[in-house]
Amino acid sequence: MKLAPHLLVVALGLGLVGQALATELKHWPAEQAKALDAMIAANANKGNYAVFDMDNTSYRYDLEESLLPFMENKGLITRETLDPSLKLMPFKDTAEHKESLFSYYYRLCEVDDMVCYPWVAQVFSGFTLKELKGYVDELMASGKPVPTTYYDGDKVVNYNVNPPKIFTGQVELYNKLMENGIEVYVMTAASEELVRMVAADPKYGYNLKPQNIIGVTTLLKDRKTGELTTARKQITNGKYDEKANLSLEYTPYLWTPATWMAGKHAAILTYIDEWKKPVLVAGDTPSSDGYMLFHDVNVAKGGIHLWVNRKDKYMDQINGMMAKHAAAQAKEGLPVTADKNWVIVKPEDIQ
């Protein structure tokens, strides 16, 4: 079949556009890129989706843990401005030292992660989303470690908290998945609204739909009318408007499911799909990401467990979980998937 000259030019032009849009996994080790490329090719344009954790998985370091001391150092978040419901135990002050809110957060984590995970999302209450977006962008633009202090026993330790550093490899993977018709979602144990300010802002490169960021949700309040809502409620009702929400005040009152530990699995069922499983789940923390990593990947479709190996301790833990869960699956006569289709990278491999 011969094409007319002008049609040939159009066809060639479209081909060049397609090539221009084809993202390559250049910031990935060859073996891992090959596995991801094969999975994407097998599952492209079939209504599939992928789910990523955010902190230490989609970028290096932690947004809330750096934004808290960043805003505290500016005098924006203080004990005096902290919502009374968040003053859960006495501050550890001495004659020489006043405890930082960052240190207070660390001590709440020593009580239990189930205490500090919600607290470090709730602590940003009292600001509008527009105000918080400005501080997030300022933190990201600075790129500088944020000085703070915490207690090691009774000793005060000076500490620098790194702000998020975009993983170029993950930006490539997000975009390649979407180019191939695989929807991408974020499932974060951090504040949904704060993570949305990075993941859904095109300048950071992820290019996610704002609706596809799922995380710790607190009620949003209209200061003029007192009306309460959440992005999750709006999205479910088909009435979400990211820009209109910027004037709303972030409150400390929590919405569920809470998106950490088993709550990540629950949120996939609640907000994405009850039966269709993702073809990729990415995480870095055994306790928080383990449930969705082991229970939600569609291994039958060649789905991938993507692990960012940032700590030897966590790698040992996830290896132990693979063996334990594979044995449990076999004992129950279930398909053994827990130890299959793992792609593992170190943070420096994808930076």
Q: Which residues are annotated as catalytic?
A: 53, 55
Please check whether residue 351 is in contact with residue 167, taking contact to mean a CB–CB distance below 8 angstroms.
yes
* Measured distance CA(24)–CA(176) in Å, rounded: 7
Residue 205's contacts (CB-CB under 8 Å, 6 or more residues apart) are 166, 171, 175
Tokens of 315: 């790698």
Q: Which helix (H) or strand (E) holds 60?
A: strand 59-60
> What values do phi and psi take at 158, rounded to 5?
-80, 135
Give the length of the chain.
351
User: Beta-carbon neighbour count of residue 332 at 10 Å?
Assistant: 8
Rounded to a whole number of angstroms, the distance between the first and last alpha carbons of the chain is 47
Q: Which helix (H) or strand (E) holds 280?
A: strand 280-283
* Measured distance CA(201)–CA(321) in Å, rounded: 35
